Amino acid sequence: MERDVTSIVLLLSGPNLNLLGEREPVIYGTATLADHVATATEAAATHGMVVDHLQSNHEGDLIDAIHAARGRCVAIVINPGALTHYAWSIHDALAAFEGPVIELHLSDPKTREPWRHLSVVEPVADQTIAGLGGDGYRLAIDTVAALLAH
């Protein structure tokens, strides 16, 4: 598919991801959220896309950003943090977005505590990328480009 150079991918980061680099580094690594956003931004540039990033610790902010992406962004990559496991309002907002949705996690929640095994985002995600640490950010963008090309 031909895409305009201004194609925007919305990258959303949920609660506590602002603490990456300091927060449980054994699980989440030592890279900061800014490092991951830079990785995504570089990957997007190779596909002629740009990344708009928002991190919020508030569910409503993420929902507002998803609504604002309708008709403006070509895809959404979202690491919803713990909201992954219970925020049906995020599920519903993503369901109303027309483009590809990639669910992204640094760790693999399905191999962790039982309460992390349910993802309410998974049913509305075109792909889920989990357990690859920071590499997942590059892969998520590459996946967006591949999905848009089909």
Residue 86 annotated to the active site: no
Minimum separation from the CB atom of position 122 to ligand DQA (A): 12
d(CA 61, CA 58): 6
Query: Which residue is catalytic, options 28, 36, 53, 137?
Result: 28
Minimum separation from the CB atom of position 51 to ligand DQA (A): 17
Tokens of 80: 């919803």
Count of positions (residues) in the chain: 150
Q: Which is nearer to ligand DQA, 47 or 116 (CB)?
A: 116
Interaction between residue 84 and ligand DQA (CB under 6 A): yes
Contact with ligand DQA (CB under 6 A) among 62, 81, 87, 100: 81
130: Cβ–Cβ under 8 A, 6 or more apart, which residues?
103, 104, 105, 107, 108, 109, 110, 136
**Cα–Cα nearest to 8, from 71, 67, 51:** 51
Q: Which is nearer to ligand DQA, 100 or 109 (CB)?
A: 109
Query: Which residue is catalytic, options 36, 53, 91, 105?
Result: 105
Secondary structure E strands in the chain: 7-13, 49-55, 75-79, 101-105, 127-130
Positions in the binding site for ligand DQA (CB under 6 A):
16, 79, 81-82, 84, 105-107, 109, 116
What residues act catalytically?
Answer: 28, 105
